[in-house]
Amino acid sequence: MKKWNFAFFTILIILIVSISIYHFNNSLYGNDKKSIVKVIKSIKGYEDGSIEILEIKDFNDVRIVGFLYNNRPAYTEFYRSNIGNYKWRSIEVRQDETLSSFSPLLPNNIRPKLMYVSNYENKITQIQVDINGELIEQKFLPNKAKVTWVDFPKTDKTD
């Protein structure tokens, strides 16, 4: 009977370890450009489109990726797990736009920013945006796929 218990617990431990290793090795993370593309293609509705990564930018434990999905402006967010892998959090793709603004969720110690993603068909060369009562002007290169960041102006408000 003791041999059977020992064999049962040994098999159980091997099974648990095997499943854990399989799950760890088959999880998708946004740790590099190639794996980010795999993560995007694993999301329902994004399996078959073309993906061009324009920029990968890290803000502490948050990774923001600006890209084109079928030549449409898009971005996706990842957060770094306790073991250092970047897990997918959200994705946005804009339809029928050549220049799109996104407001990614950044850590509290990072000044809020607007992220602009333009595609190769963009003809907009300048925009003006009112942020917290301050007029911000940003210039863009036409016909260039690019990510541009604009800092929100500093405010005296602490809320």
Q: Could you report the per-residue pLDDT of 88-121, keeping only the tens digit for each?
A: 999 999 999 999 999 999 999 999 999 999 999 9
Q: What is the pLDDT of residue 123?
A: 95
Q: What is the pLDDT of residue 26?
A: 46
What is the distance of C-alpha 28 from the center of its chain?
A: 13
Q: What band does 24 get if pLDDT is binned at 50, 70 and 90?
A: very low
Arithmetic mean of pLDDT, 123-137: 89
Give the integer Cα–Cα distance in Å for 19 and 126.
Answer: 53
Q: Could you report the per-residue pLDDT of 70-92, keeping only the tens digit for each?
A: 999 999 999 999 989 999 999 99
150 DSSP β-pair partners:
114
pLDDT for residue 22 is more than 80: no
Length in residues, the chain: 159
E strand or H helix at 25: helix 2-26
Give the predicted TM-score (pTM) of the model: 0.80
Cα end-to-end distance, the chain, whole Å: 66
Residue keyed to tokens 């000044």: 111
Q: What is the pLDDT of residue 72?
A: 97
Q: Burial letters for 14-34: b for 16+ Cβ neighbours within 10 Å, e otherwise?
A: eeeeeeeeeeeeeebbbbeee
What is the distance of C-alpha 25 from the center of its chain?
A: 21
The residue among 93, 78, 62 whose CA lies nearest residue 30 is 78
Q: Could you report the per-residue pLDDT of 141-153, keeping only the tens digit for each?
A: 999 999 999 998 8
